[in-house]
A and B are shown apart, each in its own frame.
Chain A
Amino acid sequence: MHTKWKLITCLILVLIVGLGLPITAFAHGAKIKYTVDMTIELVAAYDNGEPMAGAQFTVYAPDDLFTPWLTGVCDDEGRFSFVPDTSKPGTWDIQVRQAGHGDIVHIPIGEDMVATSGTGGYTAIQIILMAACFIWGSVGTALYFSRRRRA
């Protein structure tokens, strides 16, 4: 009987190990769940660098450019973010405005898009150069007509 119990115990152990091995083997598989968090973050500021704190933003999806897809308010740093509906590929228009001031940015969203960032406007050097050209043109005009007048 003692031997018999030993045999039964061994069989149970083999069964347990036998059943256990496939479980361990399955655990080497992998299951990946993923979500694409394509958040678009925007920072709105006036041209003197002052953030557009509390400015209202309006997001227009490409399929309806007249009805806002999303509206909201920028934070104290003029920042806001949203997750666009990727089932609506095309150019999304985002307008930020406050007291009659503001801007519109056009962001292309589609299957072939790549992560990117952008800023509007010119650099300080470009602005200075353009202003200098205009001033030079004005001064030149003034000098030209002053000269003609004397003659």
Chain B
Amino acid sequence: MHIPDGILPVPVTAAGYAATAAVTWYSVRKINKKENSRQDIPKTSLLTAAFFVVSWIHIPVPPTSVHLVLNGLLGAILGYFAFPAILIGLFFQAVMFQHGGLTTLGVNAMIMGLPAIIAHYIFRLRRFGNKESRWKTGVFGFISGAIAVAMSVSMFVVILLTNIPADLDVGTERAAIYTLAIAHLPLIAIEGFITSLLAVFLQRVRPRILDGV
């Protein structure tokens, strides 16, 4: 789901950077409004490392393979910290491994970062109603993890479908994009399961980590 350099036209990449700048500014503003934002930095740092590395874990889904994203997990656990964390992770993935690209950094940040913020709000729904329970944490953890990946895949597909160059065989490229999107369906369930599992585990062993979100 990392769009590399040379795939998108310049206006789209520029729009991606503009949108990313706006969301980063808003995220930092929300972070600064928190009482003690510094206490979230250790978990943000560790999950940034996890996001950075996890893209190397490939899950074979014939005829292709997909990799974990964990943007839903970051959104659920980190809240607004998730967006700058994903942005930093994507930057280093692009610079070190050419995974993604520097021109497409803004677009990729929006594809993975915006659903993370949505996942944060979905995960917060566990607090509505009666007392926060392990069952609700698990369910909303699953939904936030799954929806984040589903949203990312949808954004990825829409951006690519609307920017296929005329000199390519449009039908072939479109078919390849749909195939890749379908291959991500199992990932939606896998990421939902991972997010749910980790959220329940954290609530059991260290509930303080989930306090701020």
Chain A contacts to B: CB under 8 angstroms: 46-48, 50, 54-56, 58, 67-68, 71, 73, 95, 97-104, 120-122, 127, 130-131, 134-135, 138-139, 141-143, 145-146, 148-149
Listed from nearest, the 9 A-B pairs whose CB atoms lie closest are A138-B49, A142-B42, A99-B176, A142-B45, A141-B45, A145-B41, A99-B180, A100-B160, A130-B96
**Whole-angstrom CA separation of A104 from B98 in the bound complex:** 11
Q: Are B97 and A47 in contact, CB atoms less than 8 angstroms apart?
A: yes
Number of interface residues, chain B, beta carbon within 8 A? 38
> Main secondary structure on chain A at its contact with chain B?
mixed
Residue numbers in B under 8 Å from A102 (CB-CB): 4, 6-7
Contacts A58-B167, A99-B176 given: A134-B41 contact, CB under 8 Å? no
Inter-chain residue pair count (beta carbon < 8 A)? 103
Contact B177 A99 (CB under 8 A): yes
- Please state if B99 and A47 are interface contacts (CB–CB under 8 Å): yes
In the docked arrangement, what's the CA distance between A139 and B45, Å?
A: 7
Which one, B3, B39, B49, contacts A100 given CB within 8 A? B3
Q: Give A130 to B172 CA distance when docked, in angstroms.
A: 36
Q: Which of A58, A101, A139 contacts B4 (CB 8 A)?
A: A101
| Pairs A–B under 8 Å by Cβ, sample size 25 | A48-B65, A97-B7, A97-B168, A98-B176, A99-B160, A99-B176, A99-B180, A100-B156, A100-B177, A100-B180, A101-B2, A101-B4, A101-B7, A102-B7, A103-B4, A120-B98, A127-B96, A134-B53, A138-B52, A141-B42, A141-B45, A145-B38, A145-B45, A148-B38, A149-B38
Report the separation of the CA atoms of residues A48 and B56 in the bound assembly, to the nearest whole angstrom: 8
The smallest C-beta distance from B201 to any residue of chain A, in angstroms, reads 18
B99 to chain A, nearest CB (A): 7
